[in-house]
Amino acid sequence: MGTPDFAVAALEEIIKNKIEVIGVVTQPDRAKGRGKKVQYTPVKQVALDHNIPVFQPESAKDKDFIQELRLLNPDCIVVAAYGNILSKDLLDIPRYGCVNIHASLLPQYRGAAPIHWAVINGDEKTGITIMQMDEGLDTGDMLLKDEVQIGNKTTGQLHDILAEMGGRLIVEALEKIQSKTTQPIKQNNEAASYAGMIHKKMGKIEWNKTADEIERLIRGLNPWPIAYTIYDHTIMKIWEAEVLDEISNAPYGTIVSISKSGLNVVAGDKILQINKLQFPNKKAVTVDEYLRGNQIKQNIRLGLEG
């Protein structure tokens, strides 16, 4: 059971390791893009490529769908970013239960957007937890874990690393489940944190925050929804930036210098250098590329509306 690109690596790894997949459950096809063309989910496309039956219920609680699953009689259900809460009726179907690939080091960041929040909050590391599912939100016993240093990676870069890690770990977990050698570890609920959904409005930069906080927000919202500010009454999306060990007495949000390297902007403590930006209906480009045919005014203050 999975829907977006994150779940593809796990499905492909399971298939590659000759673990029998008797069905794939994914979200219904949706109209996307400017042309509103109906597109298959990434997981559905992989399933069709391998001639695996696909199920796309509007709700995972649908009684007819749950009956179909019972008739399939799966040994285990692997869940990866499926996008729907599973009922007890469904969780109880497979004899080895349902196993989830979660993109955090549980009990940290239960919920919808664990990768984004790990970056935004400045964590040193994140990872994958393979978890035996129960009725709670990412509260089940942990079966396997692995971790990765965050460093200066974006959410998008971590997404790809963790998707591959999830594929590798789920194959290992399924082998342990089959051989009955798993060693489940209960989560410490007191140490739990929640990773709520990401919304576009969260991308608005507050220049009175520290340069580090702003830089992490930029990385955490890359590749979606992208952090932004207002430049001369126009939305400027910021894709990449770095913190400079420089300070200025100018008001925060002020562009104090402009060069091929980037725009130097005053944050709450230090200078933040914007390296890659995007204006409406234009492609994201480096500051150097943008300046070849466009102008940016120095001493203008970012973030001012009206």
Give the mean pLDDT of 258-266: 97
Give the mean pLDDT of 142-147: 98
**Average pLDDT over all residues of the chain:** 96
Q: Pairing between strand 271-278 and 285-286?
A: antiparallel
In the predicted model, is pLDDT for residue 43 greater than 80? yes
Give the mean pLDDT of 56-65: 95
For the chain, give the percent of residues with pLDDT over 70.
100
In the predicted model, is pLDDT for residue 276 greater than 90? yes
DSSP assignment of 261-303 equals S-EEEE-SSSEEEEEEEE-TTS--EEHHHHHTT----TT-BTT
Rounded to a whole number of angstroms, the CA Rg of the chain reads 22
pLDDT for residue 32: 80
What span, in angstroms and rounded, lies between the C-alpha atoms of 114 and 86?
19
What span, in angstroms and rounded, lies between the C-alpha atoms of 246 and 249?
11
Please confirm whether the linkage preceding 107 is cis (ω < 30° from 0).
yes
Give the mean pLDDT of 44-48: 97
pLDDT for residue 33: 75
Tell me which residue of 119, 112, 104, 108 sits closest to 220, measured CA to CA: 119
Burial class (CB in 10 A: 0-12, 13-18, 19+), 186: exposed
pLDDT for residue 306: 56
Residue pair 101/79 in contact by the 8 Å Cβ criterion:
yes
Q: At CA 261, angle to CA 252 and CA 294, rounded to 5? A: 85
In the predicted model, is pLDDT for residue 288 greater than 80? yes
Please confirm whether the linkage preceding 280 is cis (ω < 30° from 0).
no
pLDDT band at 258 (very low <50, low <70, confident <90, very high): very high
Q: What is the DSSP letter of 96?
A: T
From the CB of residue 199, how many other CB atoms can be counted at a distance below 10 Å? 9
pLDDT for residue 257: 97
